Amino acid sequence: MNKNKILIAIPVFNEMDVSNIIQRVKSFSIDVLVVDDGSTNGFTKDLGNVGNLHILTHTRNLGYGKTIIDAFTFAAKNGYDYLLTIDSDGQHEPEEILLFLREIPFYDCDILSGSRYFFPTKVGKEAPLERYRINREITGILNRIMGFNLTDSFCGFKAYKVEKLRLMHLTESGYGMPLQLWIQAWKLGLRVREIPVKLIYKDLTKRFKGILEDPNTRLRYYKNIIEEELAGIEQNGAAVWGMKKKLRF
């Protein structure tokens, strides 16, 4: 039996079928943390029937990145060895948690990241063209910087060694937080490995809200995060500047 202390964290913001997702996650008999990012649909009322949950609640919507950062903090403060994160919008299959649990304890990585694009994808039929293109461009930039050879830099289905999360200082509260995480993981010398997970887009027409609805604005936002993290590298500043020019930031 695995003696590691494991936590599964689920960020939530007004998703419709959260109780079902949580019940399926709880079937693994592992501690579960729900981070409610200021939901207004009253879903927490249904959680009384679930039982034995840790719940963190934001009084207002603070952003996807903030929910994950809070999950990291909770796992570190409460002595967990591993943290898994899974989204609550139905685009991750809870049954695939087993793929990550089988790898624990990690011997060859510090972050085990799910990839929806590990295998060839029918763009436009299985994944929205716009999101795929942006993911591909940002993933390419990160790979040229870090050498991780990622295929999906935005997948929220991941498992982490909590001791390594304690070394990070993450501040990005929005959807671009994973990019800050990747750069910091690279700076810290962490080891990364990907495993394939199912590609699920229930609604290919679903769009971002607010200013991020515009693809060009969203792409610039993502690149700005990478720039800011690179700027934080104090050593080899000339090399970093040369790298940024090469990447056409």
- The DSSP code for 155 is -
Q: Which has more pLDDT, 24 or 127?
A: 24
Residue keyed to tokens 């990447």 = 247
Tell me the average pLDDT across 34-44: 87
Q: Which domains does the chain have, with CATH numbers?
A: 6-246 (3.90.550.10)
Tell me the average pLDDT across 193-221: 84
The conformational region for residue 53 under phi > 0 = left, psi -120 to 50 = alpha, else beta, is beta
Please tell me the distance from the alpha carbon of residue 201 to that of residue 178, in angstroms, as a whole number.
19
pLDDT at 242 over 60: no
Long-range contacts of 206-209 (CB under 8 A, 24+ apart): 206/128, 208/175
Grade residue 203 by pLDDT with cuts at 50, 70 and 90. low
Average pLDDT of the residues of the chain: 88
At 221 the three-state DSSP class reads: helix
Angle 215-231/129-146 helices, nearest 10 degrees? 10
Grade residue 78 by pLDDT with cuts at 50, 70 and 90. very high
pTM, two decimals, is: 0.89
Please tell me the distance from the alpha carbon of residue 63 to that of residue 215, in angstroms, as a whole number.
18
Q: Which has more pLDDT, 19 or 35?
A: 35
pLDDT at 70 over 50: yes
Give, in order, the Cα–Cα distances in Å from 203 to each of 11, 42, 64, 145: 19, 23, 19, 33
Question: pLDDT tens across 152-180, in order?
Answer: 999 999 999 999 999 999 999 999 999 99
